[in-house]
Structure 1
Amino acid sequence: MTQNPGSTNPLHGWFDNLFPWLLSLTRSPFVLLLQLSLSISPICVPNRSFVEGIMSCSSITLFCAVISILISISLSVSATEFIFNTNFTSTNILLFGNATVDSSVLILTRDSTFTIGRALYPSKIPIRFSDSSFSFATSFIFSVTPQPNHLPGHGFAFLFTPSTGINGTSSAQNLGLFNFTTNGNPNNHVFAIEFDSFQNQEFNDSNDNHVGVDLNSLESTASSTAGFWNEHGEFKELRINNGEIYQVWIECLNSLVNITMAELGMRKPRKPLISLSVNFSELLLDEMFVGFTASTGQLVQSHKILSWSFSTSNLSIGDALVRTNLPSFAPHNDSIFNSIAFIVGIIVGGSGLVIICCIVVYVLVIIKRRGTKKPMDDDIEDWELEYWPHRFAYDDVYAATDGFSEANVVGFGRNGMVYKGELGRSKVAVKKISVESECGMREFMAEISSLRRLKHRNLVKLIGWCKKEKGSLILMYEFMENGSLDKKLFECDENTTLSWEKRMKVLSDVATGLLYLHQGWDYKVIHSDIKANNVLLDRDMNARLGDFGLARMQPNKRTVDKKRVVGTVGYLAPEVVRTGRVSMQGDVFGFGVLVLEVVCGRRAMEEGKPLLVDWMRGVMERNEIVVAVDERLKVEEVGEEIDEMERMVCLGLLCAHPEAGARPTMQQVMNILGEINKDNSNHRTFEQIKTSSSSTSFVESDVLKSGR
């Protein structure tokens, strides 16, 4: 049946009524199926003769075209898609904290301690749910690089977040995601994939190289060791923070999340690293920001994002990333066998092999002739006469230690073994010190000679020294019968451990000795290695500071600031780790860590556990002091002892504050200790004690006078 050109088409009015319904239909989850069905030609209908009677072929074509256009417009409006191929700028990405863009690379953190870096896409992403499901795909290329002079650790995360900025987040193991208060709060509305290179037992991390899915909490819902499954079904681990470049694919289809990673240049592995279902309808809001966050703590590494793609409709968006000609950040590890120096060394070494053999034979003959003869003193150099009054003959020291017999070894110092010996009727501790140059030897001897004049009941007395050969010194200290504090804290059971009363006495003794070093003499003496191993206990269990081999002195009127990287990891203040400059504030930090060790009975650093200072901050924020107290003390949850311990923890954390200017002086520490002991009965708060102590001067204190 044909239709006259001038007649009215009955389909037009019907289509006008249908149009609003079609527009709403484009928002349904079946839109793709509808678009596909409308594109089929010819159109299949049950009664073609009927259709021919009501509309022409041109009307059908118009109908299909309009539907297709509406569908395309709807999809383009609702979908979000972007690609950064090493073209980040400060204008096309939101930067917070320490995040920067350098040479078109997004750098979340660099080489600073206790920092947070966060970068977000500038516009919010509309979250479209269908039957509580949500779909998106993202891929990014990253590199995490260890930094010189720092221990590597912590990590970064890809995240959905409802807000910008870094307020309410913490650094270190918190990755800039949450803090101790907000961690685990269902109102966070945060979905994150973490790439963590430090094992935190408080978050039940599986190891120190893992990928995890975080839903409002740093305790991952699912996690796996970082790596990939190859085509043979074998798992290959990838070290997150070795500086190599990796690509990550995160794909979510109807709320099933698949996470995959591989080395740069590889095709995406078929088997995902992690696969799990997530109920996004209860987790995400209608609009969310998307981006990255990273943090450092005492442990430092650089987190870089080189490229990034994201789409809410295209699951193959990762293929758009450029994976060639990218900068390399891996530490140089060139093989020595390919170096010119190695080749030249082989040639020179081969030609001199005969000479070396002759020298070895000669040395063996000399040693054989000497046999077991006792070593003799070197000739005395002219400059040594200046320090002669405290010099002992090497023969006497050799005899005192039975020839430095292994049976007399009582410990190990930073520079070697420590021997027990007897000089006359006195017991001594004997240390061997290595000094590289004569100039360094003279400087060191001047320091030792001055330190010998330090006399205080809470300092280990330096008795004297002797020299056997150039570059080697031997120091004699007063012998401490009860050894070092670390053995009493960490290497004994509840029957032999120190009581709380004795622990308080030890801390008071150490603080008194350290105050004397800082301002009780003509020179300010920086110990720079305050730790339990350097606190020695005499016959009466009095504590004394020892090991002045690292100490630095400055006249009182000069600034104490010597650039010399010394100390022990875990006790080093952040500014010392960062700059290498020792100071009195650095000693106060070490004392704060020592206080926490004495209360907890736990070392400052233990494998597989967070740093003691960071862990204790969390304990105090959660008001769980009983959990932190050394269980061998068997302290009741309520009582004067637990209150005193809580005040001591507060003092320890105050001394170990990450900012040097916020720490008290040893004058104020001594005053606070006195207030804690005095105010045990009336239970004044730590803030009250600290406030009253800060106004008291110790310049001419009895503590200094009585200790001399």
Structure 2
Amino acid sequence: MRPRKLLVSFFFFIFLSSFNPIVSAENVTFDFSSFTLRNITLLGDSYLRNGIIGLTKALDVPTSSAGVVIYNNPIIFYDRESNITASFSTRFSFSINNVNPSSFGDGLAFFLSPRNRTLGSSGGYLGLVNSSQLTSNKFVAIEFDTRLDLHFNDPNENHVGLDIDSLNSIRAEDPILQGIDLKSGNSITAWIDYKNDQKKLRVYLSYSSFKPEKPVLSVDIDLSDYLKGLIYVGFSASTEGSTELHQIENWSFETIGFLPARPSGKRVGLVFAIAGPTFFGVVLVALGYLSVQKLRGIRRQMSFKAELVACPREFSYKGLKSATKGFHSSRIIGHGAFGTVYKAFFKSSGTIAAVKRSRHSHEGKTEFLAELSIIAGLRHKNLVQLQGWCVEKGELLLVYDFMPNGSLDKMLYQESELGSLLDWSHRLNIVIGLASVLTYLHQECEQRVIHRDIKTGNVLLDGNFKARLGDFGLAKLMDHDKSPVSTLTAGTMGYLAPEYLQYGKATEKTDVYSYGVVALEVACGRRPIERDDFKMVNLVDWVWGLHTYGKIIEAADKRLNGKFKEEEMRKLLLLGLSCANPDCAERPSMRKVLQILNDEAVSLDVPKIKPSLSFSSGLPLNLDDIVSDYMNSSSMCEIRIS
């Protein structure tokens, strides 16, 4: 229906309804500062102790367990008579602890379901889904997942995701980027807000009782179809061969948006007599406003497309939607700085492509134009080739060549768990290809390109396992003779150079640092930051420690079973340390890195002791300080190398 007709129909409905009083559904509110059995039902292995709910078995030995707690009274989210779906907001504190930190898994979830006896299987099913009947349970859930489960396409072992009738999350984010470790054992407060008028769901996490400004997870989603009928709310959790313990400490919940009962009988005529002239005036103003906005929207879209004329072909939104099955969650193959990536199959041509879809049509425009303007003008065998773009229906979409072997991150970690291990010759070719394309970006383009987000997740592999660099949503163009400009720090923790964290100045040397971390990952088969017992271990520090004692070759990935040339492995490890040197002045250029890898230059000397980085106050800047400063401080301090 056209906006003008829709508006007229809406006001006409209001006019008629003023003569037919409506009894609206009521908003629901409850607040449990501690729990009793009066208003909740415990299922499975859940229990109540000292006012706190435990969802899984509290044992010192690994076990499989699943438990659920449900609020006894069903909640009405949808009022048929007024055709209103309520928004909702919930706040609760939880903790995920473990007597054996090496056996974490699987996590907990907050859910809404039409069933009041929801209890699924243990393990990766989070107590939400029955392993033998995956489609039987209906629910909307926010999962707080602590295990990487390949069956459900989990991104990592520490993520928050939105699930609807399936444990393959519609979207998932890593809260560690905001300093929240789900497995820390600390009490974590969560806020989940769904605003039906905005069709948006947001999840916030904090170690304190103060709600942060930035959500951990934000999803544009219309939940109205899933909230009809009587809905129950609650929590579930599960373990499998683990001693992980899940506890809910407090819980408040409310629905928002139902209208109060309309005035009856005698008041209706008086209300209409007073409001009538105003009402029709509002209608005229609104119609005029809609017409102006529609005209402006057309002009904006035409202007936006005019900026893209020189770029590759324009795809139709209808064609891309059909090729991705309506952007179905089963077609998701990755997430980038720009947004979600879908696998697209074009029946007419029989070809496959990858489609990037912006998270937010307005907020994503800058990143969209950045990626499009940069990629469209670049040509290199180790870059992901851009096929085209689409700007329709408020969507910003990019179409790329499909990379059948996925990301380097997936091949190094996920695929290896399934038995497909990346061999040494492929690994060496990947780091050489990545060095080649970065040399091109830094020194061979008309304008120098700083990628700012070099990581294994953004290195894609074609059918021959050759590296293709992608995701230019954070990239910056700079003239070769210009100084770097200070920007907001962007990128991925573990790959960020120390000086970039402090000053926010992206240079080619910050890309070199990130490349060094990737090179070490390829050689060692370890992530940039990993949990070891009760502390976080930095890959660069770990390799440099082995180098200090003359044992650097011990850093080689044990899964290779020694199937590599020791000289090549040693060269790559030392080159990785050279690139990840805390002193940016000591890092080589990417051209030098490429020459070393191709045996066209001798390897660089790497000091036995890693140069230490410190503030001008003399305080050491270790990994914890870097993470803490990155999350909490905006001050700029002088850094010196000692």
> If each structure's helix is expressed as a fraction of its own residues, which one has the higher value?
1
TM-score (norm 1): 0.42
> If each structure's strand is expressed as a fraction of its own residues, which one has the higher value?
2
TM-score (norm 2): 0.46
